[in-house]
Amino acid sequence: MTPRPRSAGDRVASAIDAVLDWAERIVIGGLVVTALGLGTMQVVLRYVFNTGFEWNEAIFVLVTVAAMLMAGARAVRENAHVRVDIVHVIVSARTSRILDIVAYSASLALCLFYVWCGYLFVSFARMMGTASPETGIPDWMIYAVMPVAMSLFSVRFILKIRAIALGTERHEAHADISAFDAGDAR
């Protein structure tokens, strides 16, 4: 079977994936190093010098949560997310493909719902003009982590759905099947 030529859509999807890959690596790495530094600093200040910064805990939690959300989107890219693989072992490759598209579409719908709800909440928080008492950071900036992360998840799910629909990605249970679209192969 000869590989199909790369279309403009393939090049755009590949470029989006490459940019997200680069951005995710840098942001996750930066957030992890920041969290590690803040956590270490707070422990040393608290237990060695019996002091600390009141804002440190809030920033540490925010940075850690943001890193975990970014890593979750990365897990979608790497197929390292939680899913039920046993079903794919007992169904045909075609059925597996349909199940993946349905599952990723449901996940995409949920993420888009969270983007919308997050946008509404961030708008409300911005209108209220409240700020975190520990950090002084406006609440809307803190809450914006959720719709931004869910937007990233949404893009990742769109890329997954496209790859599965075009047959350029297969579930691991059927990765070695040459006749992926045959429907009867297990």
Range of the domain at 164: 8-174
Domain assignment present for residue 181? The answer is no
Domain assignment present for residue 23? The answer is yes
Tokens representing 102? 């349905």
Is the four-CA dihedral 63, 64, 65, 71 of positive or negative sign?
positive
From CA 83, how far away is CA 37, in angstroms rounded? 33
Domain assignment present for residue 2? The answer is no
Tens digit of pLDDT at every position of the chain (186 positions): 456 667 888 899 999 999 999 999 999 999 999 999 999 999 999 999 988 888 999 999 999 999 999 999 999 888 877 777 778 778 888 888 898 899 999 999 999 999 999 999 999 999 999 998 888 999 999 999 999 999 999 999 999 999 999 888 776 655 555 444 444 444
Domain assignment present for residue 89? The answer is yes
Domain assignment present for residue 1? The answer is no
Q: DSSP labels for 130-163? A: -B-TTT--BHHHHHTHHHHHHHHHHHHHHHHHHH
Which pLDDT does position 4 carry in this prediction? 62
Domain assignment present for residue 186? The answer is no
Which pLDDT does position 179 carry in this prediction? 45
Domain assignment present for residue 185? The answer is no
Strand partners, 131: 138
CB-based contact 156:96 (threshold 8 Å): no
Structurally, the chain folds into a number of domains equal to: 1
From CA 89, how far away is CA 21, in angstroms rounded? 29
